[in-house]
Every structure is written in structure tokens, then in C-alpha cells.
Amino acid sequence: MKLTCDAELRPYNSFGVAARAACLAEIHAGEDLEQAIELADSRDLPLLLLGGGTNVLFAGDFPGMVLLMRNRGIEIDRESGLVRIAAGENWHELVQICLENGLYGLENLALIPGSAGAAPVQNIGAYGVELESYFIELELFDCADGSRRVMSREDCGFSYRDSVLKQPRSQPQVVCSLTLQLSREPAPNMSYPALAEELKGIAGEPAPQDIFEAVCRIRRRKLPDPAKIGNAGSFFKNPVISQEEFEQLRNRFCSPPSFPAKTGVKVPAGWLLDQCGFKGYRKGAAGVSEHHALVLINRGGATGKELHQLAMKMRDRAFAEFGITLEPEVRIIGANL
């Protein structure tokens, strides 16, 4: 186990903000995890699990031990379509590897940043597909009691960008690996309007590789590259409102964008924030993308506190304008919410 004390966290978060942790442990195997937790217990340090750091905002320092998942390995059974992935694997690279091996279903989830272990926690989704549809099970280590167990799809309690794994706990639960069931037969999903529009020029039914490339093009147009401009992608979840609330919205706007949801109508948070004038907004080095009002960006030198203050300003403005509460999709560390 590689251990760093008084660790700088700027390299480990895609916003690129400065923050420090009392300790940072790089986890490559199960024994590393157990050793790190024993050390944290001996020093009475709280634990924070970190994967790719692409869905977190450090609004302050973390006074404990950060567990940085770096375990690797992908096992593919082409006959059954089962794929077992170590938590530290890069998600986008996994999607590419599955395509290369003739296993399909994840192509709509291309270019989502972060690690594989974070995928079930967030129940990642994009362009008409959610991880839940392909999920079989995961292996979990509970830092509270040192137990290990396997969790099924039902155990995970998946919902929109959420799971039971995302709920606050005094000690984290660590996803060590996950198993997915993919298809050997292409089954293109073009239910998302923007994706269908992108694929209009394809003669016949698009192949999975066509969908993969189209999703990558759309995401690159809409989202800045974190290697160039600090960001964590979409900052807020798309809110689900009642049909009555949506009718009120439709009375104000001719054709507000919407999508059906299990419990009402889903409205794009980016559209709401755009109506509030936040696209391209900036306050010092903290700002909002010129291309998408849902993406907060670090223009260079912004602090996590400044970005958090901007996010809360956006949330409050949206509520004042529409009576709709926006919930952060990004995990916020070190702030009093």
C-alpha cells in the first residue's frame, strides 16, 4: 500500500481544486484496503472513498484518510456475455474493450468519466441507457465491520442516479468489483432524441460502434475536457416534477423540454438554469460553461468553496424562478450544506 500523509488532492479531482487530506492510501488489492482501514482506525481518522475523482467537489479539506481505488482487471466470457470488472478500471476504456470483444449494451455510456467502481453507486446513465439494465452483482467491502458480501441488482436499490450505496454512512462501503451481463447481439438504443438526430446520416440501422462514436461526438461538443478545463460534468440531477407542476411550466413556456419518468415528468436541469441566464456566467475563476448551463467550470485558480457558492446560487435562483429544487449530482466534501 502506498500511503501519503498531508496529501494534496488537486491531482485526484477533475475540478482541479486545491484541498488536503490527512492521509491518502492507494488501494491495489484487498490486503491494502484492510491495512488502510486498520491504520485509519488506530488514528481515529474518518474515511473517504475516491475513484476517478470526476464526481466530487472539495469545498474544503478532508481531515481523514482518502481511499484511492487503483485495483485493476477485466474478465470477459464471450460465450455468456458476462464481464467482471475491478473497481479501479477506467469506465470509458471498459466500454471500448467490450465493443472490441463483440459484447454490446454499454455504447450509449461512452465517455462517462470516472472509475468502474463508481458506476453502480451512481447508477450512471446517458442517452437512454442506465447501468441498472446490465447489472448482475457487485462485491462489497464494508469498512464499518470489515465484512465482505455480494449485492444483487435488487440489493442495490437502483433509481435515477442513485442506489443504496450512495446513502450517507459513518463508514464507507467499498465496491471492489462488479459483474455485468452484456449481449452478443447488437440491440441499438436510439430512444434519446439528440442521439437519434446525430445518427440521421447513417444508412440503415446504426451499428454499436456508430452509436459509440456518436455519443462521443455529442459529449465532446457539450462537455469541456477536464484535462483542459476543470469540471465534473453535469453538476445537478434532472429534476422529476409532477404533471401539475409541468403544466404550470408549459403555461409559461411554449414547449419546455421534458422526458417521461416513473413518478412524473423529468425536466432538464440545464434548460432551467439556461432560462435563469447562467450559461457562460462567471464570477472570478468560477464559472459556467458557455455550451451547457449544467456544467460548472474552474477557469483556473478557483477554490472549491467558490465553486460551491456558485452552485448554491444557481440552485437558489432556479427555486426562486420555478419553485423546483435542484439536487447536486456531484458529491460535495468539506462544506456545510
Residues carrying an active site annotation? 161, 234, 329
Taking the CA of residue 39 as centre, how many other CA atoms within 13 Å lie in the half-sphere pointing to its CB? 19
Q: Are 298 and 230 a contacting pair, CB within 8 Å?
A: yes
**Which residues are within 8 A (CB) of 100 and not within 5 positions of it... i.e. 6 or more apart?**
none
Q: Are 307 and 59 a contacting pair, CB within 8 Å?
A: yes
